[in-house]
Structure 1
Amino acid sequence: MLAALMTELGQDKLEVRDDVETIGFGPGKVRVAIKATGLCQSDLSGMKGIIPNAVPMVLGHEGAGEVLEVGEGVTHVGPGDRVIVNWRPSCGTCAYCHRGESNLCMAGVAAVGIPAFRSRGTDFFRFMGAGTFAEEVVLEAGFAAPFPDDVSYEAAALIGCGVTTGLGAAINSCDVKAGESVAVIGCGGVGISAVMGAKAAGAAHVVAVDPVAGRRRWALDLGATAAVSPDELPDAVRDITAGFGFDHVIEAVGRPATVRSAYEAARRGGTVCLVGVGGAQDMMPVNLLELFASAKRIVPSIYGGDDVTRTYGRVINLIRAGRIDLEALVTHRMPLADVNQAIDLMRSGESLRVMLTNA
């Protein structure tokens, strides 16, 4: 079968091979034919080693597909079922799961060290336990979350990462209320999903902040009430909030400079929500005195900031109600074989979400 392989950290291009096989199927496993998988900035972080993972590996973690086969003991899905690849599965028994915080459950982390592919005598691991840049993948059962027939594979793939992460940051981590003001810094797939979430929550002002003009236009089409470049953000604070600051600022980049901009744009007592993934060397650019005096809440948001399947359900309900259109996030579609072209598009900022599909 076809898969895109990363043989060592720092590769600029993935190696697409058609002689890859899945391995490791057995009790507690699910074999899934991937129908659609999106490209996410986290995949680039995986290529650079910013997000650690066992190497060599198959990248991809935002996917959906059809169950081909289930191992002994798997009862929640069966052959023919449509599933989202949930890269943060819950064990159901740990303290986080009991508190309804399955997005913090660490049960799935071990999967990154389990080989799931083989090519030319070498075993390959799955990025974030998922490995969706392949025609098929063998997953631990918890990674397969069923979704209804009235949701498309593309929408389900987006729910599998970017939409749940961004929209969940707005509706869960920030708990945006009707009439509030929100700024979103960084308007790739995750950031624009946060824009959509803030709009769905009834925010009066949703300001998209991005250096790329095309992304600002997309943000306006998908719910932003204004869109500005990073240099224009102070003006937006003055003109839109009368200098008061935004109730919530969602940072979807993962750099100290943009975190600082988010902090400065939030009102006193407001929320600074950190969604972007930075590196271990990136330090928080806020001192303790100003943090105390401003009373601003700094809230990291992991995978939607709430129980994962609960957020999946909220997103699906918003789709059914016609309040969000996830297919509108997809600006480019191409076959898996063109994955390197898709990566170039993502790096350039010329795409919002690129969707790789398998026939």
Structure 2
Amino acid sequence: MKIRGAVLTAAGAEQPYATSQPLGIHELHIDDPRPSEVLVRVEAAGVCHSDLSVVNGDRVRPLPMLLGHEAAGVVEAVGSEVSDLKPGDHVVMAYVPSCGECPFCLADQPALCTPGAAANGAGELLAGGRRLSDAAGQPVNHHLGVSGFSDYAVIDRSSLVRVDDDIPFDVAALFGCAMSTGFGAVTRTAGVQAGDTVVVIGLGGVGLSAVMAAAAVGASVIVAVDPVEQKRERAREMGATHIATPDDAAQMVADVTGGARWVFEAVGSAAVLAQAVALTGRGGTTVAIGLPHPSATLTIPALPIVAESKTITGSYMGSTRPQIDIPAMIDLWRDGNLPVERLISGYRPLHEINEALDELASGAAIRQIITPQR
């Protein structure tokens, strides 16, 4: 069948993207789903820094590629081996497919699935190969097994989580990346407990999700750090007990925590990660969530790691188990404990995807929602 999608053919375009148009809206052919796959009508897709990092070249991916990895939609058709989804079901898309058989999947760590990571890196689906091709019949790569900046997508069953029909698509989409990554980092990777002290640096969709998670589990102090005042105020609305600029953060954290138990870096900057380590207190842990440029290196004082028993750990996709953790997060949202809708800063049709990238790159946007069906 024919679909429309936002395709990147070359990385590193100059800003503004509204002028350079790195993403073109193309008519593509999409194959029928293979036995373990599902055809989904995409209703909402969030614009995330992981999309921007492919456009600007920070994350090298095989091109051409149909971008978008945070999305929700409706099942249109299922492969012959898919028995637990049916047409009409509403689904959230998770950006790491899981094979269920590798050592990480067997250890309840599907976010680290080895075949899933290999497929994502190659621009393929988990079953191998691509289901997308352009007008000339040339293959087009998938983005993280989702390619949600399109009106339809073929996706591996393991990347889909069925959700109730009454959940708005814009809210549902955010559970696939922003909430999974930020909430999971706090609750799964770190295991923050009631009464803990928390610092979150970087208040985009993922960082604000971490703030919400820390508030939901009862952290006693939550310091939210960002240079943008609007984002700091949004963090206060979502449960931050204190807010600070990057320049003021050291003094603020010293005053209110004496050294935080948990510090979450959600910027994707080696320099900011070094600051996060410095803000981490004795016996505390720095959790790296943001994706830095592949060439970035981290330089920190070595002695405090030993003398103050500090830990540095990474968190990919929040260490989440999508089939378990996304429904649990939705329950918290229903109870009013996760105000996910406050992450949304605007809506755009598919043909305005480049303008959405400009808004994201400027720091003005938190999560814009692309609506491919409009």
TM-score range, shorter chain: over 0.9
SS in structure 2 of the partner of residue 324 of structure 1: coil
1:91-143: CA deviation from partner (whole Å, max 9, x where unpaired): 22222122111111123232523333222213211111211110011112222
Question: Contact 2:97/2:145 (CA < 8 Å) preserved in 1?
Answer: no
1:77-103: CA deviation from partner (whole Å, max 9, x where unpaired): 111111111111222222212211111
Question: Contact 1:100/1:306 (CA < 8 Å) preserved in 2?
Answer: no
2:188 maps to amino acid: N
User: Which position in structure 1 is the counterpart of 2:322?
Assistant: 308
Question: Contact 1:131/1:137 (CA < 8 Å) preserved in 2?
Answer: yes
SS in structure 2 of the partner of residue 196 of structure 1: helix
The CA RMSD measured in Å over matched residues stands at 1.6
Question: Contact 2:12/2:55 (CA < 8 Å) preserved in 1?
Answer: yes
The equivalent position to 1:102 in structure 2, one of 110, 113, 116, is 110
The equivalent position to 1:349 in structure 2, one of 356, 363, 370, is 363
1:48-76: CA deviation from partner (whole Å, max 9, x where unpaired): 34333221001100001111111211112
2:159 maps to amino acid: F
Matches of 1:104 and 1:18, distance apart in 2: 32
Matches of 1:210 and 1:217, distance apart in 2: 10
The equivalent position to 1:190 in structure 2, one of 183, 201, 206, is 206
* Alpha-carbon shift at residue 14 of structure 1 (Å): 3.3
SS in structure 2 of the partner of residue 5 of structure 1: strand
Pair 1:6-2:8 in alignment:
yes
User: Which position in structure 2 is the counterpart of 1:166?
Assistant: 182
* Alpha-carbon shift at residue 24 of structure 1 (Å): 5.3
* Alpha-carbon shift at residue 41 of structure 1 (Å): 0.4
1:255 maps to amino acid: S
Matches of 2:105 and 2:301, distance apart in 1: 33
Question: Contact 1:256/1:284 (CA < 8 Å) preserved in 2?
Answer: yes
* Alpha-carbon shift at residue 293 of structure 1 (Å): 1.2
Q: Which runs of 5+ in 2 are unaligned?
A: none
Pair 1:65-2:73 in alignment:
yes
1:297 maps to amino acid: T
Label 1:211 to 1:146 Cα distance change in 2 as closer, same or farther (>3 A): same
Q: TM-score with structure 1 length normalisation?
A: 0.95
User: Which position in structure 2 is the counterpart of 1:282?
Assistant: 296
User: Which position in structure 2 is the counterpart of 1:150?
Assistant: 166
Matches of 2:320 and 2:147, distance apart in 1: 23
Indicate the larger mover: 189-198 or 322-331. Answer: 322-331
* Alpha-carbon shift at residue 28 of structure 1 (Å): 1.9
Matches of 1:272 and 1:83, distance apart in 2: 33
* Alpha-carbon shift at residue 9 of structure 1 (Å): 2.1
The percent identity for this pair of structures is: 34
Q: Which runs of 5+ in 1 are unaligned?
A: none
Matches of 1:297 and 1:10, distance apart in 2: 35
User: Which position in structure 1 is the counterpart of 2:253?
Assistant: 237
User: Which position in structure 1 is the counterpart of 2:241?
Assistant: 225
User: Which position in structure 2 is the counterpart of 1:338?
Assistant: 352
1:201 maps to amino acid: V
1:139-191: CA deviation from partner (whole Å, max 9, x where unpaired): 12222221122322112210110111001111111211111111100000000
User: Which position in structure 1 is the counterpart of 2:93?
Assistant: 85
Matches of 1:72 and 1:295, distance apart in 2: 52
The equivalent position to 1:119 in structure 2, one of 105, 113, 134, is 134
Matches of 1:274 and 1:304, distance apart in 2: 10
Map 1:175-186; keep pairs closer than 5 Å: 175-186=191-202
Matches of 1:223 and 1:168, distance apart in 2: 17
SS in structure 1 of the partner of residue 291 of structure 2: coil
Matches of 2:302 and 2:100, distance apart in 1: 37
1:272-308: CA deviation from partner (whole Å, max 9, x where unpaired): 0000101222122224333111211111111112323
1:269 maps to amino acid: G
Q: TM-score with structure 2 length normalisation?
A: 0.91
Matches of 1:220 and 1:141, distance apart in 2: 38
SS in structure 2 of the partner of residue 323 of structure 1: coil
User: Which position in structure 2 is the counterpart of 1:328?
Assistant: 342
1:6 maps to amino acid: L
User: Which position in structure 2 is the counterpart of 1:17?
Assistant: 25
Pair 1:215-2:231 in alignment:
yes
1:322 maps to amino acid: G
User: Which position in structure 1 is the counterpart of 2:58?
Assistant: 50
* Alpha-carbon shift at residue 309 of structure 1 (Å): 2.3
Matches of 1:161 and 1:204, distance apart in 2: 26
